[in-house]
Amino acid sequence: MNANKRLKQGRQAFQQQSWSDAYKFLSAADNKNPLGTHDLEQLAKAAYLIGRESEYIDLLSRAHHQFLNKDDTPKAINCAFWLGMILFNQGEHAQGSGWFARAGRLIDEYGQQCVQQGFLLIPEALQCLRQDDPENAFELFSKAGEIGNQFNNPDLLTFSRLGSGQALIHQGKITNGTTLLDEAMVAVVSDETSPIVAGIVYCAVIETCQKIYDLQRAREWTDALSRWCDSQPDLIPYRGQCLVRRAEIMQLQGKWPVALQEAQQACNLPRPSHPSATGEAFYRQAELYRLQGQFSHAENAYHQASKWGRNPQPGFALLRLAQGEVQAAKTAIQHIAKETANRMARANILPAFIEIMLEAAELQSAEDSADELAGIAAELDSPFLIAIAEQSTGNVLLRKSKPREAIKKLRHCWQLFNKVEARYESARTQRLMGLAYLKLNDHDTAKIEISAARAVFQQLGATTDIHKVDSLIPKHESDKTHGLTPRELEVLQILATGKTNKEIANELFISERTVDRHVSNILGKFGVDSRAAATAYAYEHDMI
């Protein structure tokens, strides 16, 4: 196959968004005869989109120098901008800053207005956001948008709307900010932007929605990102973000096995362009392992998350709490709380901080933090965060021996959790309501709430929470069965003697298959995985 044919096939594949084929054919053509600037740019983009970041940087650098040799300064500036953006996103800040500086110098030397002037405002605006200066960030993003309008450049306009929306959200102007995010996404889903810009905007919008607990918006755009990724099977850089966001949503809805699978898949992609996605994927795995009581797996995943740049808190502190290491949990959560000043970021820390402070008998600290969380939730006007805040306040009220006030808060937050399909949080709330009713000596209502919570925990495999629930009711005569039916209690009595399922079936005059089902139910209700563990559990709780 001659070079011209390969070049033609490569161009066609690029237009069809067949990134692997575009890379293969354009690379083959480049090996025969060095590509011209336009084709070289396309080869660089194809390399990036299939996860070949180092080649992308080399190819785009070549294109940059070719444009300089042709005195096409605007195109050379464009290459320098993208080299700076990608390197900076990969954590290569010195190199990224160097390319931004070169782009700025070339703009000064060019001496004419060009759309690249607007693009170069983007990293400056992002730096303002990182330094918690959203007002100046908004001005810079807006100015970039004006230049984008002047030159009718969809990529720059979309970047401007994305950044302006984020800056407004940082200022607490949530409605105006999310409106701009939606407008940016309209350009993306309408295929008005280039593929690299589309991927960046998808990920940024969904991440921002997650930060402000706008779960419905996050779900909608995650679905759109999934469709976009699925339409380009060989696309790599954004697929990790897609899987992580889906895992978060699946976890919220109680689909934990699927969530774990998505998070694991995100870690197993070819070398990712976005280490942050890998860090988030390991953190998501760690959270699921922690909730399922698989503490050694959770600890390893938290360490992996940290290795990939994701702070393992507050999850790691909650792991220590679940392991009974209250002081270690307290120390860890206090450190991260002191280091976190941004109010939206604190909303992610405070629920864990409150839970740990309550276990550490630091009631005043927990109460103050619950008030702070309630204030942030009111500002963001997010039903899910309001529910989290009311759950925390209800827990504080319980510790202050105010069960009636606690129930009022908890009942409302339980309704909010159900509306957003947050199954685990809903069950946790029911456990707290059960505890409140116990404090009021209303054991029948307490049993209803706690049994409902236990059933959800059992379905989810939340073993730590199952043990917490089981520690509440067994003190009362009505709950010595631990949720077992009369027949299951009969099976347990015989199982504890060491007899086989066949022997149990013969003794009770039922089928062996029925015994299998009863044994499985017993193991599930006890939250154990073996007959020996079930026997030990029964003896420990005076059931036999």
- Given a contact cutoff of 8 angstroms between Cβ atoms, the answer to whether 333 and 340 are in contact is no
Structure token digits, residue 423: 């199954």
Token pair 């697929």: residue: 239
What distance in Å separates the CA atoms of residue 342 and residue 355, rounded to the nearest whole number? 20
Please tell me the predicted confidence (pLDDT) of residue 78: 96
Please tell me the predicted confidence (pLDDT) of residue 28: 93
- Given a contact cutoff of 8 angstroms between Cβ atoms, the answer to whether 283 and 315 are in contact is yes
Please tell me the predicted confidence (pLDDT) of residue 478: 42
**Rounded to the nearest 10 degrees, what angle do helices 443-460 and 512-526 cross at?**
110
- Given a contact cutoff of 8 angstroms between Cβ atoms, the answer to whether 148 and 160 are in contact is yes
Length of the chain: 544
User: b/e string for 104-125 if b means 16 or more Cβ within 10 A?
Assistant: bebbeeeeeebbbbbbbbbbbb
Please tell me the predicted confidence (pLDDT) of residue 477: 43
pLDDT tens for each residue of the chain, 544 residues long: 577 889 999 999 999 999 999 999 999 999 999 999 999 999 999 999 998 989 999 999 999 999 999 999 999 999 999 999 999 887 788 999 999 999 999 999 998 999 999 999 999 999 999 998 999 999 999 999 999 999 999 999 999 999 999 999 999 899 999 999 999 999 999 999 999 999 999 989 998 998 899 988 998 998 888 899 889 988 888 888 888 988 999 999 899 999 999 999 888 876 554 667 889 999 999 999 999 999 999 999 999 999 998 999 999 999 999 999 999 999 999 999 999 988 888 999 999 999 999 999 999 999 999 999 999 999 888 899 999 999 999 999 999 999 999 999 999 999 999 998 899 999 999 999 999 999 999 988 998 999 999 999 999 999 889 988 887 765 444 456 777 887 888 899 898 888 999 999 888 888 888 888 889 888 888 888 888 888 888 887 778 7
Please name which of 444, 419, 422, 377 lies closest in space to residue 254, comparing C-alpha atoms. 422
Token pair 């405070």: residue: 350
Please name which of 311, 293, 239, 222 lies closest in space to residue 465, comparing C-alpha atoms. 293
Query: Long-range pairs for 449-458 at CB < 8 Å and ≥24 separation?
Result: 451/483, 452/427, 453/427, 453/428, 454/483, 454/525, 456/254, 456/423, 456/424, 456/426, 456/427, 456/430, 457/427, 458/524, 458/525, 458/527
- Given a contact cutoff of 8 angstroms between Cβ atoms, the answer to whether 293 and 324 are in contact is no
State the pTM of this model.
Answer: 0.77
- Given a contact cutoff of 8 angstroms between Cβ atoms, the answer to whether 358 and 325 are in contact is no
What distance in Å separates the CA atoms of residue 310 and residue 332, rounded to the nearest whole number? 15
Please tell me the predicted confidence (pLDDT) of residue 342: 85
User: b/e string for 513-527 if b means 16 or more Cβ within 10 A?
Assistant: eebeebbebbbebbb
Please tell me the predicted confidence (pLDDT) of residue 37: 92
Please tell me the predicted confidence (pLDDT) of residue 476: 46
Token pair 């073993």: residue: 463
Q: Could you tell me the maximum CA-CA distance found in the chain, to the nearest angstrom?
A: 95
Structure token digits, residue 489: 């209690």
Structure token digits, residue 22: 């575009």
What distance in Å separates the CA atoms of residue 245 and residue 74, rounded to the nearest whole number? 36
Helix or strand run (H / E) with residue 88: helix 73-89
Please name which of 432, 384, 426 lies closest in space to residue 406, comparing C-alpha atoms. 432
Helix/strand/coil (H, E, C) string of 50-68? CCCHHHHHHHHHHHHHHHH
Please name which of 334, 341, 292, 288 lies closest in space to residue 313, comparing C-alpha atoms. 334
C-alpha 358, offset from chain centre: 26
What distance in Å separates the CA atoms of residue 286 and residue 291, rounded to the nearest whole number? 9
- Give me the DSSP letters along 243-259: HHHHHHHHHHTT-HHHH
Structure token digits, residue 197: 């810009």
C-alpha 69, offset from chain centre: 45
Helix or strand run (H / E) with residue 443: helix 443-460
- Given a contact cutoff of 8 angstroms between Cβ atoms, the answer to whether 181 and 165 are in contact is yes
